[in-house]
Amino acid sequence: MAELSDVHFVDGVRTPFGRAGEKGMYAGTRADDLVVKAMIGLIERNGGVPPERIDDVAIAATSQTGDQGLTLGRSAAILAGLPQTVPGLAIDRMCAGAMTAVTTMGASIGVGMYDLAIAGGVEHMGHHPIGKNADPNPRFVAERMVDPGALDMGVTAERIHDRFPHLTKERADRFAVASQQKVQAAYDAGRIQLDLVPVAVAGADGAWRLAADDEGRRPETTMEALANLKTPFRPHGRVTAGTSSPLTDGATVSLLASSAAVKELGLTPKMRMVSFAFAGVQPEIMGIGPIPSTEKALAKAGLSIDDIGLFELNEAFAIQVLSFLDHFGIADDDPRVNPWGGAIAVGHPLAASGVRLMIQLAAQFAEHPEVRYGLTAMCVGLGQGGSVVWENPHYTGKKKRK
């Protein structure tokens, strides 16, 4: 008889993230091959887990067509060499695809239906620009359900600036510079590379090389440089390429397990899922979505924002993160927030990003036994937010010495 179970994040890996487009390192690489490569890396790192014991594979993509189609969870599982007895599915919640894959598989583990699952996401924005093949129902605009600008994420970011004028362009620029610097510092310390699965890629000249790190980093970014960038979403606007996540290709996968599987197989979980929530907001101001989803997730966990010791917030736009921090009374430069930087520097391959947040939080938990709870949260296109609260298995209850 099935029994309720805790949900454990055992491990997570990702490919290096590449710049989307013809000059990006994955221009000649298929989207499904990216997620397959990540999945093989995850399986190899967790050799004590019998592949035939995986109960399900959930892989998300925003554009589920072409090399991102064909029920990715199932097709990628077969291509990665999992037994054909292992089923799979595809998920779409735009930017929160991988996050939803984790919460969906986690819920299945929590109610005792599964013991082991793989969850992740992939986005090849070079092959599949967001919205390229979409055909929005004309009722959205004709019946004034959604403003046409709501389908342009940059326009929604400008509107957060409109709503919160004290969240200035200068503050957004400063946050973006810090993100670039923090990512580079994490690279210099060898922290991020540990969870990257290198990918062999063919260049335009036919020569092969190894993609081993994130391509979009710009550690030389300065406040002066950002001040002079164009504002593509509005004349004399406040959102620039420097305060936005770049268009990106990449894949992420994670291994989730029940308490019974952890005990039986001798696994060492990196995090325990405490609660999760998704929420809807006006699509026109999509970026504030993580605020209500976090409030819901905290309420379900019986926690307050003060209980969260580490935050991994997806930097779709700097202003979006600033609106979250402002709402909860957290300083722009709070050291608990994105300690190793975020999507402004490494990129945001839409449906893959949720698990990247989890990978980084899990690694930081290991370094911070004084922190008990962490949060992964992100805004989602068409007016949504997603949040997951995690518990640190390394927690000791002792404050870290300065």
Q: Which residue numbers are catalytic?
A: 95, 348, 379
d(CA 127, CA 367): 37
Q: Which residue has the tokens 């077969």?
A: 78
d(CA 247, CA 381): 15
44-78 b/e (C-beta count within 10 Å ≥ 16 → b): eebeebebeebbbbbbbbbbbeebbeeebbbbbbe
Closest alpha carbon to 59 in 34, 30, 90, 32: 90
d(CA 125, CA 353): 13
d(CA 215, CA 227): 23
d(CA 302, CA 112): 23
What is the full DSSP assignment across 284-318? GGGGGTHHHHHHHHHHHHT--GGGEEEEEE--SBH
Residues 6+ apart with CB under 8 A from 37: 15, 197, 199, 251
Q: Residue 398 is which amino acid?
A: K
244-274 b/e (C-beta count within 10 Å ≥ 16 → b): bbbbbbbbbbbbbbbbebbeebebebbbbbb
Quote the tokens at residue 15.
Answer: 């490919």
SS3 at position 194: helix
**CB half-sphere exposure, 318, CA atoms < 13 A:** 27
SS3 at position 337: strand
